[in-house]
Chain A
Amino acid sequence: MNTFSEKVVKILAVALAGGGLYLLAAYEHGQRESIRRADVVLTPACIEKLARYGLESGEYYQSPYVLQRTGAKLATRGYADDDIRAIKRGCNIIDDTQGKLASDPDRERWNTRRFIRGTHTACRHCHQSVGDKQDAAGNRLVGSLNLGASWTMADMYDRFTGLLLPFELRQMQCYINSSNGYKPNIADDVIRDVTSYSRFLSVALDMKIANRYDEQGIDEIPASATPKQGDDYVRGEAIYRQKCESCHGPQAFGRVDPDGRLVAPAIAGPNAWNMQSRNYFYYVSTILPGFICRNMPLGQENTLPNQECRDIAYYLSNLPRPAGDRQGPIIALRQQVLMKVLPPLLRATGSARGKAAAAKSDSGE
């Protein structure tokens, strides 16, 4: 009898634990569904972007951008309210990944912060103008990491991973490396909503599946596209001080205004991309220079010569940053130590250099 009641208690405990888990899962599922059905409050950049592309529910969709530029009245399948909300949420995630503009980031951005280490990263830092960068005349810019073009070119062979890389997996890599964070599930709403937004961009810009577009990805700059002076750390630092420091800060740790709002993202230090990111010069030496040349400084894109972009990229990649998932614990520890030790040292030597320069100029030398 004693053994029997013990068994009953055990069975009841297991049943209770299973039932509890089921109820928790049902509750979470219900919460997600309620978020999917909730109205979406757009960020200012998304309001502008989606209004420009005429996103509305209806049986057919016609892109005002395509109509204006080509005169073609291309009707594609329209969007249901659920689709519209997914596209809006995706746009918000690109523009405000960490939910700094949201009243409830956990609900409005699917708590995207849980996949990101650090406080600086947002998708729009690389995918500028909410993933669709254009000049004043509405021309899409070469090498501007357009998300619509990325969608049309997804599933192609990726030389870095050796995979036929789906769009969803590419997003997961961004979270792991560019955001130095964690991988969302492939079916997570975080991923699906960004895919929906990217697909909408591809329709709004009339992009065809698997065609090549100049605005897709980076316009990479290899050493062979320079006068072959060699990539120079010292030259890179000098150009950084001249062209980049005013926004990204003296040690490239980014800049935050007094209200805590991010002015410019970190491009080195604990909030920056890690050593497994394709932006890391020692991993891929052509991507960051390409990004700098085509997208920086803001408002003066395409003004830096190729060699200067490579020099800046080389300099930046010598500053301490987190290790990636393939570097192992020793390198990770080294990077953590460097990120603790170097900043005060550089501050001290930087201020000493500043004082020496000021003394030099005071003495009229």
Chain B
Amino acid sequence: MSPPHAPGENARGKGQDSSPADTPKGALLIVGVIGAFVLWAHLGSGVQAFRSQVASEPGWDKFSAGYDIQYFGDDGQFVRAVQSGYNLIFYTYKYAPRFTRKKAGDRINACGSCHTAEDIAYAFVNSDRFDPKLGARVSFEDRVMRCYAGAMDGFVPTIYDPAVRDIRLFARAVAHHLQLSDGAIRKAK
């Protein structure tokens, strides 16, 4: 028969601290934290990132007409993604606040501060190529992610994030309007 434990001693021996999971209170706390995380992940974290409704920002109608986005339909997932790409490019501070520290008051606060829509389309069709400066082949997504971290003074989204994907789709739509093939060379104005 094993001796009873003295006060302050647990089953693993004297002097060893019990972990939170050893007590019902601790276990409840852990379950509570996990539950709260699941709830947050379900309700709070991704809703905005993955919603299919897109707000119409100033300039979209002109852009849409100018680049014949209607070719892809009046509405639809692709068109909405292109519109979301438009918002991300010209209002980055508003639509990708998770990935940039830039604010509305900053002089350079959006991709559109440095790049035109056509710059981005040409970058897209010239991506997946060797970049001598970096000594590696660089994809369009790599470049976008790098821009968020560098020029936008922020953080790198994952490759699957709509903040990257929608910019690629935006570039595709513009490249289609310009009838670009892969590797198209921009003519000097």
Contact = CB atoms under 8 A, between A and B. Distances in A.
B125 interface: yes
Given A155-B78, A210-B172, A61 B183 contact: yes
Interface residues of B, number: 31
Contacts of B181: 74, 76, 202-203, 206-209
B14 interface: no
B183 A210 contact: no
B177 to A, nearest CB: 9
Nearest to B127: A199
A195 B129 CA distance: 11
B29 to A, nearest CB: 25
A80 B168 CA distance: 23
A335 B130 CA distance: 46
B169 interface: yes
A56 B72 CA distance: 35
| Residues of A in contact with B, size category | 35 or more
A186 interface: yes
Interface in A197-253: 199-200, 202-203, 206-211
Contacts of A166: 165, 168
Contact of B180 (A61, A78, A208): A208
A200 B182 CA distance: 8
Contacts of A206: 181
Most buried by A among B72, B124, B126, B181: B181
Contacts of A69: none
Given A187-B159, A209-B175, A157 B77 contact: yes
B185 A82 contact: no
A131 B4 CA distance: 76
B137 interface: yes
Contacts of B130: 79-83
Given A157-B76, A164-B169, A82 B137 contact: yes
Contacts of B185: 60, 75-77
Given A76-B182, A82-B137, A186 B159 contact: yes
Interface in B161-186: 165, 168-169, 172-173, 175-176, 179-185
B64 interface: no
Nearest to A206: B181
Given A77-B126, A77-B129, A155 B169 contact: yes
Contact of B165 (A164, A195, A199, A209): A164
A200 B129 CA distance: 11
A86 to B, nearest CB: 6
A164 B176 contact: no
Contacts of A211: 176, 179
Contacts of A157: 76-78
A164 B175 contact: no
Nearest to B173: A210
A211 B125 CA distance: 14
Nearest to B124: A209
A198 to B, nearest CB: 9
B182 A203 contact: yes
16 contacts: A75-B185, A76-B184, A76-B185, A77-B185, A83-B129, A155-B172, A157-B78, A164-B169, A186-B160, A195-B128, A196-B128, A199-B183, A203-B182, A206-B181, A209-B181, A210-B173
Interface of A: 60-61, 74-83, 86, 151-152, 155-157, 164, 166, 186-187, 192, 195-196, 199-200, 202-203, 206-211
A-B pairs with lowest CB-CB distance, top 5: A76-B183, A210-B176, A80-B130, A77-B183, A209-B175
